[in-house]
Amino acid sequence: MEVSQKIIDYAIWYYLKYYPSPKKLIQKLKEKFWPDSEKWKKYWWIWQEEIDYLINEKLINIIQENEVIKSKIRILKDKWKSKLYIKQKLFERQEDKELIIKYLEEAFIDWEYEQLNKEYEKIKEKFEKQKIIEKLYRKWFKYADIKKIIT
């Protein structure tokens, strides 16, 4: 089975430009080369098997899903985003859920609690207890952790 070099080049270009999840890359390739697309007349023979072959055989050295997930977690963590926020954003990108959970746990050992404590210290003098809880909860911190900090 030979996949056109033009399709491989497009897949590589798209991946390196947007770093989509493998699911989103497959979705984009289908959109670009599937029936009802402009390219269909030329690439009518491309089906799911060819796209799977392209992803699993030709692009295996380029697509580093675990490194992309780790990088996205690091970037969002450096922007002081909470664990739940990061988890939601990565789930929206249709990344591998098991990898997301694994890398989030590694990245957030004690960090989220420290972040919550810093946020609490900033606002504890300004607001009453209920308002503090609301503000921290809106910042995606877990309610149980908020209660521990406040009491």
What's the rounded Cα separation, in Å, for the pair 120 and 144? 14
Taking alpha carbons only, the member of 113, 102, 114 closest to residue 73 is 102
Q: Where are the domains of the chain?
A: 5-58, 65-107, 111-150
pLDDT, tens only, 104-144: 888 877 667 777 888 888 898 898 889 988 988 888 788 88
pLDDT, tens only, 8-17: 777 777 777 7
Q: Which residues contact 22 (CB under 8 A, 6 or more apart)?
A: 55, 63, 65, 96
Q: What percent of the chain has pLDDT over 70?
A: 73
Q: What letter does residue 9 receive in the DSSP assignment? A: H
